[in-house]
Structure 1
């Protein structure tokens, strides 16, 4: 066999190297495949664990919704998890359930719509998406949803009637949200782009002469675009100047004068609304106060379309505010009165705020007003019963509204009818419902005065002429604890008087006399008046005997009750007297101890004073018969004589002068009080002490009330105003007008004005007394910023009800305390305000809101009462003014030396220089009082 040539050897080597490389690559690929399998297995394990956890969470959320289907957050969490897991069928089902119970937000609707659009690519399924869009646009007015709807419809314009369908959707969109000042322009521009696209399809190719039909189509399409420009320019939008410039460029013949006129008018409207729009742009959600101001402005302007779009924009961000829905539905009921719009808005209102009874009530009335069928009204009423109201009285009110509706359906000219039987059945059902469901839930009937039963009895008596049934119903009313009330008996008596007979009237009054306990005198008077007109002498005698017997018994009961109250009051007075005596004794004891400790000190000081007092330094008598003895008295400027100070006491004369001035001022004030007529005067207080010329200031303030006789300002020792006084008018007729100036601000302080009453003669008189019982129609707010005004607080509380009064609590100086009381029209509004306002942020302060419940004053708070000693904190050993900044002692060192025990002797005799043993109080361990000379020796001691 021949040996291979060099070329063949080279070729063989290349083939061997290539085979070896292929083997190496195969081995590497096998290794990579093995590693990839291991990594994929790990990832599969991790993903399976996550799937198991998510599935467990999904099952938990589904179980929770099966228990409470109205858990909004649970619905949202379930939808997020199902979308994450790609469970499309279950996701669609979860969204469907949530949309049946709640209106969905714009974000939830857009996610749902986009998912459905991706899943339904075929034309046969487009109708389902259209139905979903129709549901979405009914919940809230959202420009983005309308834009998505219109753009989706453009995809079907190739189908028969597709272009007309797109145009109809765009027309509905610009009608619904075309007036939206910030987002409406996007829809108008999309509409014009669509029409421009249609224009390009009808334009003939260049150089071709269009036929008559083609020219008509072209002209009609151009007119559509012209019309869109004109309509848009007549609407006030934020960037409408750009649209006008675009129209100028697009139009070959320029802008018509009519369009320019409408455009300028829209510009003016935009300028009016611009401030409100700018406020909304910078405000924080939900922007309730800003929308409220915007709505009030549009209501004054009176354009129904703009009022509607403003309400819709506000409700998109404040869908859980019942007052906003109430205001909107009331406007629609009274102004627009368009059936479809009114009923759809009422339905949206109760879906958003199902707990608000008034919204359901107005919904029922709107259905009746617009001629809805009976089944629809009944279905809405049944939904209302399951809405979960927060008060028992709400169920009574909704039943009354439904019963009124059923009564209006009955033709009472017929003796019996299906509607009448339904009305009676509804009355019976309402009583059972209130007794079973409402009482079990709230612990009260909600209808203590039996208003529903009273209406039933009147209907039976007046419309059905069935007094027997009316009496049965009223007997049922009396058995529910109402027999003790005079007004219930008188209502029954009036019913019998109008539709019954005299026999039953007499029976009703006789039973009322025996049973009434609140106003028996009134019932007795009615019975006697009845017998004067209708009865015989025997009837009169019987009535007199029964009324006298009953009133005597009532008077005995009242006397016993009064005696019991008197004994309780006497017992309380005795307790208070004992406390006062104990306090007085304790005070006297402390005073005696203080006097005994200071007695010896004063005696020593007097001794030193007598020693240093010489005849040469004694002043001569300034008055009298020229006696040379020292005169201890001096005459003041007021003519009063006060004791002179000892020589060397520089402050004594000034103090005596002040004492004399004080006595004179007091005597002058007393003389003025005797001259003042309180019936023509008012008492002024809380004036600033630094008020310049206060009398002239008060005259200028009160001269509008009536002629002023004089102004009396009470002054202190030095003639300085004490901040209070009196204004006396010529006539008592000016006093009521003067009292209206109470709390008027005078140089930064509220001036208090009250009736002028001598409290020495009327000690129990009080100008004003705050309520100490719970005020369910009033709320108490704490934690307010000091800068908050009454107007700002009223704006905060205004969305939650009708406000009667706002009162900010201030100090006497007029500075706010951060507290306030807000009074609403009724208890329901106050309760809603507590629920909505508690915990909100007001200028950076978190406020607390509660029903007003002022604390009751205890006996220790009353004048003359003593507080328990356990409540008084013991005074610290370092003094009544607290611990000083430094702990340096300012007393001489000798005072810090501990004195030797009194009984200590040295070598059987008393210590040299030691004072004699103290007696009296000093013997009990108290130090001896020191004289001035003793203090001098101590200070000089080294």
Structure 2
């Protein structure tokens, strides 16, 4: 169904052949056309893209009548682009070849050349007219069209030359003795215009002219050539730039405006607008130039009309159009019709409707003869309609009036007071203005006062100022001063006393309110300062704590070095092996051997050995301080009920009032008995805690809140299980076996959601679960696992999805086969490790280029099986070498083993 078309003699064809399949396809297109595009246009007739889609579908369907109607409808609402016009014109030309009446095509060309200045359309128009050259007056018509074409696009720097050449070819075709002068004239006119490839035209004229090139023509040619050299950089910039070339055209227009040639300025604007027809600023700049410089009625009004047809949503273009119509003396009905079109254009702001109404009301006011009642009644009716329009249409659409200051009503009141001498109507309007929320503003009351001062009387002036003093909240002092100044000039003593009393009472109340507000603001500022001071102190304490911890780690490192030295000394002295022990903190004994009189070494202690002080003594400098009570008890099972508690983690360390945050998060799960956030010794939050409910029934509801976002981080909620009783408990177990019913996807865009991924995968099988892999902070890694109903669906998904692009990212898809995790990576892991690959150990300088280690073989450090050898001693009293050889694996050497090696070398 490629390139369907119609043929006027044979009906609907497809690829040049009648086909039943083609007709079925076209019927489907027609159905989709009625189902999708047509209803959309009935809702919004100004949907440009729907018009384009409708024309494309009708062209494929091959219905000429409906295609003409759709194009006609779009042409009434919008200017058509060069491509749409050329398609339309070529279709009509093809159909009128056998018809004697060609006037319809001429009318269509006339409409086409008005939308944009397009050299290709003018050239097509001239060539079509040549076909009717044999009819009466045909030659004159062709010549007239060519003259209009060179006037419109002859200055086009890059495409104007084609029109000139076509004009000369036409004159050559009908050449006679009396017409040689016409060709000379065409050459002279063309050579006087700066165009690209002027040199070729000049050489052609030299060859064609029998008497050479006249001096005047040569002078004009050189002048045009100089102008072309000035314009050439701008033309070259346009040639290399990408569409729509807005910046390049702006620079070109500014250059032509400085040069000041109206014809060249106009053609440059037209060229820019042909590629930037949806840029309102470009149309505004062009219309302003025409309004202020050229001032030709037909050109100005046609350009304004094209501007609002291209950018109907821009209120400024409609406003300029109304002013241009009034400026050039358009009739009242035309101005009213344009205004009604503007109201239906669909502006994007409520204030745009206020401005367009103001422009139209200003026009109506300027045409009113206030001695006649007809125009005045029309003006009042327009004011009344504008208020109703703002109240109903604009407020319903935007949720706001668009005219909060009631500008239109103020203008109406001034007109009634100034021109109609109707102060009663003006006062009614101002009462309505004040009831719309403007009574609290001093400037509104002073505007009303000035109106009364100019056209009213002192009684209403005083009344207005008294109401202003009572209602104004933004600048009451100013209103009070105006009232007192008025009474000094107009009032009696009683009026003065009453005004003074009223202003003092009002100002005292205002001052009290301001004092309360200032006190409240000061309290808020003080609280903010206190919080800032607390944050500063916490930061200082945190730095100090880090220094203490750093010193503690340094002390532990020195203690470990001392223990290694003691082990080596015992081995060299021939003493018994040091039993396996766990090194503790510097302020506690390491094991039971520390409590004997002779020490842990059986006989005498090595030189320099000092037993650790008892736990009741003060910790030495650099050692870690004893944890506070809430840290000592944070993992105590007695403080929580495992069946009715949950463990909450991955909270932000900077979370303020974590207990309140956790209570807000979990209060919907059931009654809460206790919430215990965990803090450090310095009082800073550790990012986790416990929530204990009054009933175990609340725990499943709380677990549903896992990964809930709290201040930008996903919170982990897991069952509260005592690890001492259940050491193998894990909330999420990492699967190490191949999962043939599940696929692994990598390379996903970070913006991809579970719903989007499920939508992509559902076409290849039944998706049971989608899991996106994220960091602890909740940020995506670009990885995901998708589980299908069976292995077959997963295999098909791998074949279909691997290598496709998702939002510009090429993804990789494979069957899920997670790598094995080494059990020795995590201490205390209960997973068997007999089949785990031993970790390759390289030297201090890493892996060499030849992948050979430069360390002697006798000093190679080998890994030992977990649970068999630890710290150089075999479990259950076996020698380390025996334990290693029994397992068939190399042993792990201790510091004492290295000492023996060094002594034997």
- Aligned residue for 1:199, secondary structure, equals coil
Q: How many angstroms does 1:88 deviate by?
A: 1.4
Q: How many angstroms does 1:250 deviate by?
A: 2.7
2:113 equivalent to 1:131 = no
Find the aligned partners of 1:877 and 1:478 in 2 and give their Cα distance. 76
Residue of structure 1 in register with 2:319 after alignment: 361
Find the aligned partners of 2:296 and 2:288 in 1 and give their Cα distance. 12
Residue of structure 1 in register with 2:152 after alignment: 176
Q: How many angstroms does 1:576 deviate by?
A: 3.8
CA shift in 2, pair 1:590/1:271, >3 Å:
closer
Deviation digits for residues 692-748 of structure 1 (CA, Å, limit 9, x no counterpart): xxxxxxxxxxxxxxxxxxxxxxxxxxxxxxxxxxxxxxxxxxxxxxxxxxxxxxxxx
Residue of structure 2 in register with 1:272 after alignment: 230
- Aligned residue for 1:378, secondary structure, equals helix
Find the aligned partners of 1:277 and 1:573 in 2 and give their Cα distance. 63
2:462 equivalent to 1:506 = yes
Q: Bigger CA drift: 301-310 or 150-159? A: 150-159
Residue of structure 1 in register with 2:728 after alignment: none
- Aligned residue for 2:225, secondary structure, equals helix
Give 1:288-307 correspondences, 5 Å limit: 288-307=246-265
Q: Is the 8 A contact 2:132 2:138 kept in 1?
A: yes
Deviation digits for residues 345-384 of structure 1 (CA, Å, limit 9, x no counterpart): 0000110111111111111111111010111111111111
Deviation digits for residues 525-573 of structure 1 (CA, Å, limit 9, x no counterpart): 1111111122111111000000011011111111222222233333333
Q: Which has the higher helix share?
A: 1
2:496 equivalent to 1:540 = yes
Q: Bigger CA drift: 134-143 or 110-119? A: 110-119
- Aligned residue for 2:326, secondary structure, equals helix
Equivalent in 82, 92, 108 of residue 58 of structure 2? 82
CA shift in 2, pair 1:898/1:889, >3 Å:
farther
Equivalent in 164, 174, 184 of residue 188 of structure 1? 164
Residue of structure 2 in register with 1:669 after alignment: none
Residue of structure 1 in register with 2:627 after alignment: none
Q: How many angstroms does 1:225 deviate by?
A: 2.1
Residue of structure 1 in register with 2:484 after alignment: 528
Task: Please report the TM-score for the alignment, with normalisation by the length of structure 1.
Answer: 0.57
Q: How many angstroms does 1:334 deviate by?
A: 0.7
Deviation digits for residues 725-772 of structure 1 (CA, Å, limit 9, x no counterpart): xxxxxxxxxxxxxxxxxxxxxxxxxxxxxxxxxxxxxxxxxxxxxxxx
Residue of structure 1 in register with 2:303 after alignment: 345
CA shift in 2, pair 1:223/1:533, >3 Å:
same
Give 1:439-518 correspondences, 5 Å limit: 439-518=395-474
CA shift in 2, pair 1:597/1:53, >3 Å:
closer
- Aligned residue for 2:175, secondary structure, equals helix
Q: Is the 8 A contact 2:413 2:429 kept in 1?
A: yes
Find the aligned partners of 2:254 and 2:314 in 1 and give their Cα distance. 23
Q: How many angstroms does 1:304 deviate by?
A: 0.4
Q: Bigger CA drift: 318-327 or 61-70? A: 61-70
Find the aligned partners of 2:242 and 2:554 in 1 and give their Cα distance. 70
Residue of structure 2 in register with 1:49 after alignment: 24
CA shift in 2, pair 1:120/1:562, >3 Å:
same
Residue of structure 2 in register with 1:323 after alignment: 281
Find the aligned partners of 2:153 and 2:493 in 1 and give their Cα distance. 81
Residue of structure 1 in register with 2:118 after alignment: 142
Q: Is the 8 A contact 2:33 2:57 kept in 1?
A: yes
Q: How many angstroms does 1:327 deviate by?
A: 0.8
Find the aligned partners of 2:294 and 2:535 in 1 and give their Cα distance. 72
2:105 equivalent to 1:105 = no
CA shift in 2, pair 1:133/1:592, >3 Å:
closer
Q: Is the 8 A contact 2:196 2:228 kept in 1?
A: yes
Q: How many angstroms does 1:168 deviate by?
A: 1.3
Find the aligned partners of 2:549 and 2:102 in 1 and give their Cα distance. 103
Q: How many angstroms does 1:255 deviate by?
A: 2.1
Q: Which runs of 5+ in 2 are unaligned?
A: 1-16, 562-807, 809-824, 828-840, 847-858, 864-868, 878-898
Give 1:734-813 correspondences, 5 Å limit: none
Equivalent in 416, 425, 434 of residue 390 of structure 2? 434
- Aligned residue for 2:278, secondary structure, equals coil
Find the aligned partners of 2:76 and 2:119 in 1 and give their Cα distance. 22
Find the aligned partners of 2:473 and 2:901 in 1 and give their Cα distance. 84
Find the aligned partners of 1:353 and 1:243 in 2 and give their Cα distance. 40
- Aligned residue for 1:196, secondary structure, equals helix
Residue of structure 2 in register with 1:865 after alignment: none
2:228 equivalent to 1:253 = no
CA shift in 2, pair 1:198/1:507, >3 Å:
same
CA shift in 2, pair 1:568/1:150, >3 Å:
same
- Aligned residue for 1:125, secondary structure, equals coil
CA shift in 2, pair 1:939/1:365, >3 Å:
farther
CA shift in 2, pair 1:877/1:169, >3 Å:
same
CA shift in 2, pair 1:573/1:372, >3 Å:
same
**Cα RMSD, aligned residues only:** 3.4
- Aligned residue for 2:440, secondary structure, equals coil
Deviation digits for residues 15-54 of structure 1 (CA, Å, limit 9, x no counterpart): xxxxxxxxxxxxxxxxxxxxxxxxxxx9854234223212
CA shift in 2, pair 1:584/1:300, >3 Å:
closer
Residue of structure 1 in register with 2:356 after alignment: 398
Q: How many angstroms does 1:277 deviate by?
A: 1.4
Deviation digits for residues 831-869 of structure 1 (CA, Å, limit 9, x no counterpart): xxxxxxxxxxxxxxx9xxxxxxxxxxxxxxxxxxxxxxx
Residue of structure 1 in register with 2:182 after alignment: 224
- Aligned residue for 1:103, secondary structure, equals coil
Find the aligned partners of 2:153 and 2:116 in 1 and give their Cα distance. 11
Residue of structure 1 in register with 2:716 after alignment: none
Residue of structure 1 in register with 2:566 after alignment: none
Equivalent in 287, 297, 303 of residue 245 of structure 2? 287
CA shift in 2, pair 1:188/1:553, >3 Å:
same
Residue of structure 1 in register with 2:752 after alignment: none
Q: How many angstroms does 1:231 deviate by?
A: 1.0
Q: How many angstroms does 1:84 deviate by?
A: 2.8
Residue of structure 2 in register with 1:8 after alignment: none
Find the aligned partners of 1:508 and 1:938 in 2 and give their Cα distance. 108
2:517 equivalent to 1:561 = yes
Find the aligned partners of 1:490 and 1:67 in 2 and give their Cα distance. 47
Task: Name the count of aligned residue pairs.
Answer: 572
Q: How many angstroms does 1:597 deviate by?
A: 8.0
Q: Is the 8 A contact 2:26 2:60 kept in 1?
A: no
CA shift in 2, pair 1:249/1:454, >3 Å:
same
Residue of structure 1 in register with 2:838 after alignment: none
Deviation digits for residues 110-160 of structure 1 (CA, Å, limit 9, x no counterpart): 111111112123564211111100000011111111111111112222222
Find the aligned partners of 2:185 and 2:256 in 1 and give their Cα distance. 27
Task: Please report the TM-score for the alignment, with normalisation by the length of structure 2.
Answer: 0.59
Give 1:636-651 correspondences, 5 Å limit: none
CA shift in 2, pair 1:582/1:157, >3 Å:
closer
Deviation digits for residues 384-434 of structure 1 (CA, Å, limit 9, x no counterpart): 11111111111111111111111111123x1x4222111111111111111
2:141 equivalent to 1:160 = no
- Aligned residue for 2:101, secondary structure, equals helix
Find the aligned partners of 2:843 and 2:444 in 1 and give their Cα distance. 78
Find the aligned partners of 2:843 and 2:226 in 1 and give their Cα distance. 76
CA shift in 2, pair 1:593/1:312, >3 Å:
closer
CA shift in 2, pair 1:564/1:877, >3 Å:
farther
Find the aligned partners of 1:938 and 1:486 in 2 and give their Cα distance. 98
Q: Which runs of 5+ in 1 are unaligned?
A: 1-41, 201-217, 606-845, 847-875, 879-884, 901-905, 907-936
Residue of structure 1 in register with 2:526 after alignment: 570
Residue of structure 2 in register with 1:335 after alignment: 293
Residue of structure 1 in register with 2:816 after alignment: none
Residue of structure 2 in register with 1:741 after alignment: none
